Amino acid sequence: MAKWVDMGGKIENDWYQVRCQIDQDMNLKIYLDGLKNQENHFCIDFDKILFCKVIDEGWDLNPCEYWDDPKNIPMIHKAILVELLDSHLKRIIRENHQAPFRHYQILGINFGIDVISGSQPIINKLKEN
């Protein structure tokens, strides 16, 4: 069972639409646009990442990480950005990648994202245009 912690303390509670931007050097930025409070706009800057993948079910994140304890699932009303401390994916990658890394998940209303990164992301609140 994966243990997780809420890493998005700066991110206000809301339903967020997620947009991603990744460049050729694997620098990932994730943009969150609030749906309940349309003044909520955030950017999660992961800088250079090792890996990312879209999780089709944004409501439940990645069910294979939580199937042994349904009470453990981070839900969209509890957290937007979580760090998984001991996930299945992290164990698989650790077998082949010795450098330290972190496993994050972002919960959006439209989809979720798994991110493997060597560092902690920077969260910025964006001003509305």
Q: Beta strands of the chain (E only): which ranges?
A: 4-6, 16-22, 27-34, 41-55, 81-84, 102-107, 112-117, 122-125
Residue 68 domain boundaries: 4-125
**Structure-token pair, residue 58:** 């944004």
The number of folded domains in the chain is: 1
User: pLDDT band for position 115 (50/70/90)?
Assistant: very high
Q: Give the whole-angstrom CA distance, residue 128 versus residue 119.
A: 28
Phi and psi angles of residue 50, each rounded to the nearest 5 degrees, phi first: -95, -35
According to the model, what pLDDT value does residue 58 have?
Answer: 46
Pick left, alpha or beta for residue 61 (phi over 0 → left; psi -120 to 50 → alpha; otherwise beta): left
Check pLDDT > 80 for residue 78: no
Q: pLDDT (tens digit, 9 = 90+) per residue, 14-66?
A: 889 999 999 999 999 999 999 999 999 999 999 999 999 988 754 555 555 65
